Amino acid sequence: MLVPWITFWIAVSVNANAGAVIVLAVCACTPLIMARRELTVYDRISMGVVSLLSVLALQNNMQIISIVTGYFLFGLMWLLSCFTREPVCAAYVKYNYNGEDALNNPIFMKTNYILAVSWGVLYILIAVWSWFLLHSGLTVLLQILNNAATGAMGVFTLWFERWYPQYIASRVVK
């Protein structure tokens, strides 16, 4: 799921036209590369949305709009996944916790809903500040902020997915 998005944000930022073509090629090849693995609904949504964003990036003067819209839609996907049986993060980490059975574990699910909301809010915020920073020509600051925020959320995710289930379980036992 992440490969099309990351490719989009990097390639289109460097060069809208060449980047968009690269992204379209990545989206076209992903199902072939993943032929032995089941694609999730989020993989399919990502490839479709990123392909459309790449087409948008190919239009004159639409690079910034396509990039910011990408951040917004990525965040929205995470947030909307909270209204489904399987939020984005659960779709990928459930295999580390007994596969489909993990979806019946309320602690696992609550942990993943909280993380999905956290990632969704982060990317909506990234969209907002990216809009202003890109229009201000502060591309380096944008790259620093976006990478730092994503890295910090990654560290938080690793900590939270260990801490929260233990915390909840210890409260239930008492």
pLDDT, mean of residues 98-123: 94
Q: What are the phi and psi torsion angles at 59 (to 5°)?
A: -80, 150
9-63, pLDDT tens digit by residue? 999 999 999 999 999 999 999 989 888 888 899 999 999 999 999 999 999 999 9
Q: What angle do CA 116, 155, 76 make, to 5 degrees?
A: 25
Instruction: Please give the mean pLDDT across all residues of the chain.
Output: 94
Confidence grade of residue 174 (pLDDT, cut at 50, 70, 90): low
